């Protein structure tokens, strides 16, 4: 969906210098909303080591609890990335009262003094204490089963859920690498959940057979 917004502009994507997950955990230490590190960083946190470079940092929070994150980021600018009127990417100032469709679930955090992008917040669908997969609302889990913690207390998306999202772009080398690195560490329950979820979202996906070996 193309949106024309007041104050929108084409972002300088070379100015990404994302925070480390540990820094975000420190900033959000007092937040009660369930939140967690997502995407590639979550795989590395699960494995206990940083295996590769990460261009950005994605975290996720229930869509109706994002206000707690906004309050913790006072002094930073928040924007929603979307397609601009010319077809190029644009960012629009985030409005906590706006209704965004599922294609616009991201919120980029920018340091105003330098224009540096620090983090991407995913606003995930939810129902109370239940997490809902934005790729397929049939896939639901209690929030307590969606994320785990590193020994030093950083919350991260459990690997089977992170890989479900990565499966859409399995051709990318980073996603292939994340799957290959995590697969030996997935116990039977994680493998079964991921295989069943992939069968719903991406029937016939190449990873399904590998999970069932």
Give the residue-averaged pLDDT of 56-65: 93
Q: Which residue pairs from 173-176 have beta carbons closer than 8 angstroms and sit at least 24 positions apart in sequence?
A: 174/40, 174/52
Looking at the chain, list the stretches that DSSP marks H as alpha helix, in order from N- to C-terminal side: 21-27, 39-47, 66-72, 159-166, 173-182, 188-201, 206-212
Least confident of 4-8, 30-34, 147-151: 4-8
- Residue 194, CB half-sphere, CA atoms under 13 Å: how many? 27
Instruction: Give the span between the Cα atoms of 128 and 55, in whole angstroms.
Output: 32
Sign of the alpha-carbon torsion through 4, 9, 13, 17: negative
Q: Are 156 and 148 in contact (CB under 8 A)?
A: yes
Q: Could you give the C-alpha distances from 134 to 33, 41, 62, 120, in angstroms and in order?
A: 18, 19, 11, 16
Task: Tell me the pLDDT tens digit for each residue of 68-119.
Answer: 998 999 999 999 988 655 555 788 888 877 776 567 889 999 999 999 999 9
pTM of the model: 0.90
Q: Which residues pair with 149 in a beta bridge?
A: 155
- Of the options 1.10.260, 3.30.70, 3.30.460, 1.10.150, the CATH number for the domain spanning 13-157: 3.30.460
Confidence of residue 158 (pLDDT cuts 50, 70, 90): very high
Least confident of 57-66, 94-103, 148-157, 165-174: 94-103
Mean model confidence pLDDT for the chain: 90
Say what the pLDDT of residue 2 is. 47
Listed residue (36, 68, 24, 40) closest to 145, CA to CA? 36
| Rounded-to-10 torsion of CA 124, 24, 49, 41 | 30
**At which residue do the structure tokens 């997502």 appear?**
38
Listed residue (68, 50, 51) closest to 59, CA to CA? 68
Specify the 3-state DSSP secondary structure of 140: strand
Give the residue-averaged pLDDT of 169-196: 96
Say what the pLDDT of residue 85 is. 52
């Amino acid at each position: 969906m193309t949106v024309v917004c007041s104050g929108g502009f084409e972002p300088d994507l070379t100015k990404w210098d994302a925070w480390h997950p540990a820094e975000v955990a420190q900033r959000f230490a007092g937040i009660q909303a369930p939140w967690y590190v997502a995407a590639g960083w979550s795989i590395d946190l699960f494995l206990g080591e940083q295996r590769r470079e990460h261009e950005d940092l994605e975290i996720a929070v229930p869509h109706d609890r994002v206000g707690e994150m906004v309050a913790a980021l006072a002094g930073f600018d928040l924007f929603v990335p979307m397609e601009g009127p010319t077809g190029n990417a644009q960012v629009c100032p985030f409005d906590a009262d706006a209704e965004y469709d599922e294609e616009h679930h991201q919120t980029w955090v920018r340091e105003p003094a330098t224009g540096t992008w620090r983090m991407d917040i995913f606003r995930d669908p939810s129902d109370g204490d239940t997490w809902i997969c934005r790729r397929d609302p049939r896939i639901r889990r209690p929030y307590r089963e969606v994320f785990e913690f590193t020994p030093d207390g950083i919350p991260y998306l459990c690997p089977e859920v992170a890989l479900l999202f990565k499966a859409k772009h399995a051709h990318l080398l980073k996603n292939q690498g994340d799957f290959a690195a995590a697969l030996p560490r997935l116990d039977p329950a994680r493998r079964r959940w991921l295989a069943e979820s992939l069968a719903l979202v991406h029937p016939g996906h190449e990873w399904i057979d590998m999970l069932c070996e």
